[in-house]
Amino acid sequence: MNTVPPIFITSAIPYVNAEPHLGHALELVQSDAVARYQRALGRDLRFCSGTDDNSLKNVRAAALSNTTPAELVARNGAEFRHLAEVLHVSHDDFIHTASDPRHVPAVHALWERCAANGDVYRKAYRGLYCVGCESFLRESDTVAGACPAHPEPLEVLEEENWFFRLSRYGAAIQAAIAKDELQILPIERKNEVRQFVAGGLEDFSISRSRARAKGWGVPVPGDDAQIVYVWFDALANYLSVLGFPESDAFTHYWQNASERWHVIGKDILRFHAVYWPAILLSAGLKLPTSIRAHGFVTSHGQKLGKSLGNAVDPFRLVGKYGVDAVRYYLLCHLHTTKDSDFREDLLQAAYSAELAGKLGNLLQRVCALCVQHEVQIDPEIALDLGLCEAAAHARTAVDAAVRSFALHDALRSIFELVAAGNRFVDSHAPWQLGKARTALGATPEQRARATGVLQHCLSNLVRVLLVSAELLTPFLPSTADTIRARLLPAPSLGTPLFPPLG
């Protein structure tokens, strides 16, 4: 029986009003790296994602495409699921909120728990609504009367809706954050949430009229004239994907889990760090233990997006450079929690100079020398002092980087170990040792000594590559598998790990 405390990890579920772009790929590979790292530690883990199908954005996109919302979310939702597969994302489950039979019962059960606790009431409301955010905005949230994140003009909406008593939970949320029972990473995002909550929480609408929703979405329990607000609906996916309210998976991976992590974009932090905890407190359910907010992928400083006309196609990049080259660039060359500009020329440079030039070249040189000189390799050798220190530093640095959600630092630490391996090759010149074994006039003792030194040198290098593969596994799983296959049970020649770009 597995006695390791369970852990539940999710990425956000994106709107599917358009096809996925590179920003979506970033979150998928970040959350996958975090989940794979925890699995490597032997954790009992469940890793889930999905698509947010029930938004007004999807309804309007369907109308513009002369199709139905159901057809649009099915088509685009399939593309998001396919992107996860193309990127080798290791989901245990993937939910489509419009079509998965688990979702509506979970939304209704969550709503009814909040209502039973006295936190759902009805009132008339008038406010500024951003369709891009799918949220009402306070005047203080706007910049020159507009949403700072979306170009579409704000809509003035007035209707009678169901509301949630968010104002009731400010103190409890503040306390959870202060004690790090609700951890928010990075620290600037934590401070942002604390400041928002300290300013006072207002109750928020959790429904919209069926007419405004065009009949699309989850009906409010007991009120068919209203549709559940998309964020209440969407946040519930973290429970519905586990079979809430009645399932062993929900009990095990949510209520009994030692950790519940959400990997999200910084633009939806408030929903996850304020609204979601309040809803869970109202429903009598456990809170997330960690919310990890990543930065945006930008182009010339502007967030990527279909509506902005600067979206980058991740499928094309994977087709051109390979899945692990794209994963490497996203995880290493884009800062995990800050905005980072994407440039394809830098992706090409990282591929050629780092993946092919440093890691791939080291593997190719070591395998070629091992095969050429037919020496017996000890893959479990105790590393020489310098390499041993480099390997120990890499392990410690990678663990610290993953814990602090600085995945770019984790990759850079691993490649510092690869660099140490390359320096070891240059300083020990194993090709010279190989020549000494077969030099004319060399005595048997000289040949034996050269053979022993060569064996020790190449065994160290094989060991460095195997440690590098172990550390790379959560980040570049295919690359790690290829390195192991090339080195075990004995080094063998093969095609380059990262062939030249053609």
Catalytic residue among 57, 108, 114, 133: 133
Catalytic residue among 214, 252, 266, 303: 303
Residue 439 carries which side chain, given as an amino acid letter?
A
Residue 306 a catalytic site member: yes
Comparing CA positions, the residue from 94, 82, 93 lying closest to residue 53 is 94
Catalytic residue among 114, 147, 332, 367: 147
Residue 428 a catalytic site member: no
Q: pLDDT band at 1, cuts 50/70/90?
A: very low
Residue 367 a catalytic site member: no
pLDDT tens profile 41-58: 999 999 999 999 999 899
Residue 133 a catalytic site member: yes
Name beta bridge partners: 261: 9, 290
Catalytic residue among 130, 332, 370, 457: 130
**Domain locations along the chain:** 6-294, 343-487
Alpha helices in 146-186 (DSSP H): 170-178
Residue 2 is predicted with a pLDDT of 53
Residue 57 a catalytic site member: no
Catalytic residue among 24, 57, 91, 373: 24
Residue 24 a catalytic site member: yes
Q: pLDDT band at 395, cuts 50/70/90?
A: very high
Of these ranges, 154-168, 178-192, 361-375, the one predicted with the greatest mean pLDDT is 178-192
Q: Indicate if the alpha-carbon torsion angle 88, 92, 96, 99 is positive or negative.
A: positive
Question: 6-294, what's its fold?
Answer: Rossmann fold (3.40.50)
Residue 450 is predicted with a pLDDT of 84
Neighbour-count burial of 415, counting CB atoms closer than 10 A to its CB (0-12 exposed, 13-18 middle, 19+ buried): buried
Cis geometry, peptide bond prior to residue 444 (ω within 30 degrees of 0)? no
- Tell me, letter by letter, the H, E, C secondary structure of 373-423: HCCCCCCCCCCCHHHHHHHHHHHHHHHHHHHCCCHHHHHHHHHHHHHHHHH
How many residues would you count in the chain? 502
Cα–Cα distance, 257 to 4 (Å, whole number): 10
For the whole model, what pTM was predicted? 0.93
Residue 303 a catalytic site member: yes
Residue 291 is predicted with a pLDDT of 98
Q: Is 190 within 8 Å of 148 (Cβ atoms)? A: no
Catalytic residue among 82, 123, 306, 435: 306
Residue 147 a catalytic site member: yes
- How distant, in Å, are the alpha carbons of 29, 57, 85, 137, 252 from that of 22? 11, 20, 14, 27, 33
Mean pLDDT rounded to a whole number for the chain: 94
Cα–Cα distance, 213 to 251 (Å, whole number): 33
DSSP 117-139: TT-EEEEEEEEEEETTTTEEE-G
Q: Per-residue pLDDT averaged across 53-74, rounded?
A: 95
Catalytic residue among 21, 91, 294, 333: 21
Residue 435 is predicted with a pLDDT of 79
Instruction: State the maximum Cα–Cα separation within the chain, in Å, rounded to a whole number.
Output: 99
CATH hierarchy code of domain 343-487: 1.10.730.10
Asked whether this chain's domains 6-294 and 343-487 adopt the same fold, the reply is no
Q: Per-residue pLDDT averaged across 224-231, rounded?
A: 95
Q: Which helix (H) or strand (E) holds 51?
A: strand 44-51
Q: pLDDT band at 308, cuts 50/70/90?
A: low
Neighbour-count burial of 90, counting CB atoms closer than 10 A to its CB (0-12 exposed, 13-18 middle, 19+ buried): middle
